[in-house]
Structures are given as structure tokens and as C-alpha cells.
Amino acid sequence: MRAGLDVCGCFPTGRHYAGIAHLLRAVTRGLVEGHSAEAPWADLPIILVDVETTGKDASSDRVVEVGFAVARGGEITERRNWLVNPGRPIPQEASDIHKITDDDVKDAPAFEAIAAEVAAAIEGAIPGAYNAAFDKAFLTNELARAGLSLRRDIEWIDPLVWARELQQGERSRALGEVAARLGISLENAHRAADDAEAALRVLLALGRDVRVPRTYGALVQEQRRLALAQADERRLRWRQG
């Protein structure tokens, strides 16, 4: 999707030509094709994804589990999970977090074997993840190794951005703690499908707050603004030590 306005209609100064302002139509970047910017986002198909990995570096570490949960019309309708053989030993520090061991994945398929199925699940739905940059980076790289691609220009919905905005007074915005504050159960934290479903339920719960835009286009635009502001705030805190 293109940035800015669909037509410019501007003088070099940036002022619009007289009499055509009503013809200008704003275009929201990052939307999934086929879904109107004016549609209520909670009514659209939304897929929240989670990956468990061998480490934190998406360029070199590998996925050991991928799961997703899908909502349509504000109700969760589907959930899937795959264990993945990463083709390398799982470091103990990673296993300590997600409890997935080499024995658990020794008979699991490589990511390449499930890549087409994962890509098909995401296609056409509005993608998202809790701390979306992490999961998106891993999926992008794993799909690329399988000869497939993930649309880089699509904005992923990130409940973490909204948790940081709506729960500013809370010390932790970890998924489990955000979910608990909203009365959402997460019994198997750091397992892919469980985290994906909890993140989706968090998104739907936070979305009922009056401060969250109702339409898909407005949600994406406001999330982008908030994410940039939050990143600036984190950089400022880091500089101040």
C-alpha cells in the first residue's frame, strides 16, 4: 500500500489546489488487501502467531515451535500448533524458557515441511503477534529458507503496543501478567499456540477500551504512531541511564 495521499493536488508549498480538497482520499499503509480500512477490525479475520525458538537472533537461530489462533467476528474459531525440528541442538537457556527439548523435536518435521501450510494460514487474515517484530522476523526468515515469502509491507497488529499504552501504570507488560490483569488464563506460557491464543484474547479485550480505534485503518495508523512514540521513550530512558 502506498503512503500518504492517493493524489497529491498540492502546490510545491504543500497547499492544496483550491476546490479539490474534497476529492483527496487518505490511504493507510500496511493493510491486508481485501479488507476495508473502514471496516471494524474486530469483525475481520485476525491471526495471532507465536514462535518458540533456539535463541533471540532471527538471522541465525531457528524456530522449534509455531502456533496460531484465529478470530472471526470477535470469536476465536481456530487454533493450530506445530513442533519443528530446527536441525540443531536446542540450547539449554532456550529450553529453560519454553521447556522444549531435543527429544521433543527429534521426530518433528523441519520448518520447510510445514512452511506452505503456515503461509496459507496467514494469507488473507490480519496478522499479529505479541511483540510482533520478533515473531515476524523469525517467520520471514524461516519462510525465505523454504522459498516462500511473507509480505513485509503488512502492518502486524501488536497487543504489546496497546498494553503499554493502556496499562501505563503497571510495571510489567509481559503477556502473562497483562492477560492476568484482564482475567485471561494462560496456563502454558511460552508454548506457541497457548501464547498465541492468550495474545489474541488480550487484543480483543484491550480493543473494547474506548481509546482503541474501531476501524482497521485507524487501528493501524494509531498503533504505528504509538509504537514510534514508545520506541523514542525507551531510547530516551536508555540514554539517561
Query: What 3-state class would DSSP assign to 203?
Result: helix
Tell me the sheet residues that pair with 78.
Answer: 70
The bridge status of strand 46-53 relative to strand 126-128 is parallel
**pLDDT for 152:** 86
**pLDDT for 64:** 98
Mean pLDDT, the chain, integer: 91
DSSP codes, 65-116: EEEEEEEETTEEEEEEEEE---SSPPPHHHHHHH---HHHHTTSPPHHHHHH
Cell (9 digits) for 95: 529450553
Q: What percent of the chain has pLDDT over 70?
A: 88
How far is CA 2 from each of CA 7, 25, 29, 216, rounded to the nearest angstrom? 11, 12, 6, 16
Give the containing element (helix H, strand E) for 128: strand 126-128
**pLDDT for 118:** 97
Read off the pLDDT band of 141 (50, 70, 90).
very high
Q: Is 3.40.640.10 the CATH classification of the domain at 35-240?
A: no
pLDDT at 240 over 80: yes
pLDDT at 12 over 50: no
Backbone φ and ψ for 219, nearest 5 degrees, come out as -60, -45
Read off the pLDDT band of 71 (50, 70, 90).
very high
18 vs 164, which has greater pLDDT?
164
Start-end of CATH 3.30.420.10 domains in the chain: 35-240
pLDDT (mean) for 205-233:
97
21 vs 218, which has greater pLDDT?
218
pLDDT (mean) for 103-131:
97
**pLDDT for 239:** 84
- For the entire predicted model, the pTM comes to 0.87
Read off the pLDDT band of 26 (50, 70, 90).
low
d(CA 75, CA 18) in angstroms, rounded, equals: 47
104 and 83 Cβ atoms separated by less than 8 Å: yes
